[in-house]
Amino acid sequence: MRTFIAVFPPPEVRETLLRAVHDLSTRGNVRWSRPENVHLTLMFLGDVPEEELAPVRDVLTTVSTRHEPFEAETSGFGAFPSAKKARVVWAGIGKGHNLLRALAEDLENSLEALGFDSEGRDYRPHLTLGRVRGRPARLELPKTTAQGLRFPVREVELVRSMLGEAGAAYSTLATYPLSESGDQGS
């Protein structure tokens, strides 16, 4: 089953971001995300047979106890690889960026022992809001409309992704609360 580890902001944050991104000036065919699908991917695991998820669950239990809950805040819109040749439209994270990065790195390092590959690049926390179909799109990205939306990061989720004609549908397999006494320094 296709799986990943993620943080889902509250519905009102996701909906506000999607409303704001629809106001962007876009030249190209962008398929916007559904609100329920907007998330921060911490690590993509790929196809993992259900019988091999038990050790992943154990790692998630352990890693979540090492991190305390925190606040995150959006910091504006962006695009990969660039606004002039956009393939992915996203909202960035300002406040909480380093804590999300530490959580993602801890997950990656801990899961490498189980045979999961490292991304091989620095983790850049972002909320994917749309993907471009066909030729890259050209976007005009204002800096102000997606800034300052705060949300709590209290848990991480192990998520199953099922691809279909209407796009991906996600279902949470398990939730792992961050520890109020996380030992991030150790």
- 81 upstream amide cis, omega within 30 of 0: yes
Better-predicted residue by pLDDT, 182 or 9: 9
Q: Express each pLDDT in 99-129 by its tens digit.
A: 999 999 999 999 999 999 887 788 999 999 9
Count of CB atoms within 10 A of residue 120's CB? 5
User: 97 catalytic, yes or no?
Assistant: no
What's the rounded Cα separation, in Å, for the pair 157 and 141? 30
Query: Sorting pLDDT into bands at 50, 70 and 90, what band is 140?
Result: confident
Q: What are phi and psi of 81, to 5 degrees?
A: -80, -20
In one letter, which amino acid is 110? S
User: 126 catalytic, yes or no?
Assistant: yes
Q: Which residues contact 178 (CB under 8 A, 6 or more apart)?
A: 64, 67, 68, 69, 70, 153, 154, 155, 156
**Exposed / middle / buried, residue 153 (Cβ in 10 Å: 0-12, 13-18, 19+):** buried
List 22, 39, 67, 97, catalytic entry: 39
What pLDDT is attached to residue 144?
58
Residue 117: how many CA atoms within 13 Å on its side-chain side?
6
List domains and CATH numbers for the chain: 2-177 (3.90.1140.10)
